[in-house]
Amino acid sequence: MPIPAPFVSRPMDIEKDWIDYNGHLNMAYYNVLFDRCSDDAFEMMGMGPNYAKDRRLTIYTAEVHVCYVQELHLEHKVTVSFQLIDHDDKRLRVYQEIRHVDGWLAATSESLSLHVAMSGPKVVPFPADVLARIEAMRAAHAALPMPERAGRSIGIKARRA
């Protein structure tokens, strides 16, 4: 089966309980949308719920940088992309975008995830079969350009008088 580049989720609805008192999607639920897409991509790489249950291995998030670009509201429907931009034998670096089904960008996320043995918990190398799937996804995604918003840092630029 060919690996989509990038991987794109099925269309998802914004849930009523996710809307905050400002009338738009609460910041926490952008992460829920990113996570749902990640779960589907991890499943494609052999690291879904059965992986955790049967092999006692899983993925933990170590770091996330989210940029909120445009508000989402209850009536919106979105897709989320997943681009594997780097990996080693224990870690994954991923870039994601939430886009309205009409195409406009709502938010971006860049994350670093760790492969963990649940018995520790302890960071451990990926098993050979899973690493092969990760490498296949990385090879499929290698043809994609580095996202312009990847690698951003947070800061306040000094204003000169």
| Residue 161: predicted pLDDT | 67
The model's pLDDT over 40-60, given as tens digits with 9 standing for 90+, comes to: 999 999 999 999 999 999 999
Mean pLDDT of 3-7: 94
Mean pLDDT of 66-88: 97
| Residue 140: predicted pLDDT | 96
| Residue 141: predicted pLDDT | 97
| Residue 2: predicted pLDDT | 83
Band the pLDDT of 144: cuts 50, 70, 90: very high
Share of the chain above pLDDT 70, in %: 99
Q: Classify residue 86 by its DSSP letter.
A: E
| Residue 81: predicted pLDDT | 98
| Residue 159: predicted pLDDT | 81
Cα–Cα nearest to 33, from 23, 52, 18, 16: 18
CB burial readout 6-43, b (16+ within 10 A) else e: bbbbeebebeeebbeeeebbeeebbbebbbebbbbbbe
The model's pLDDT over 7-53, given as tens digits with 9 standing for 90+, comes to: 999 999 999 999 999 999 999 999 999 999 999 999 999 999 999 99
Query: How far apart (Å, rounded) are the C-alpha atoms in residues 30 and 111?
Result: 14
Query: How far apart (Å, rounded) are the C-alpha atoms in residues 132 and 20?
Result: 42
Q: Round the average pLDDT of the chain to a whole number and report it.
A: 95
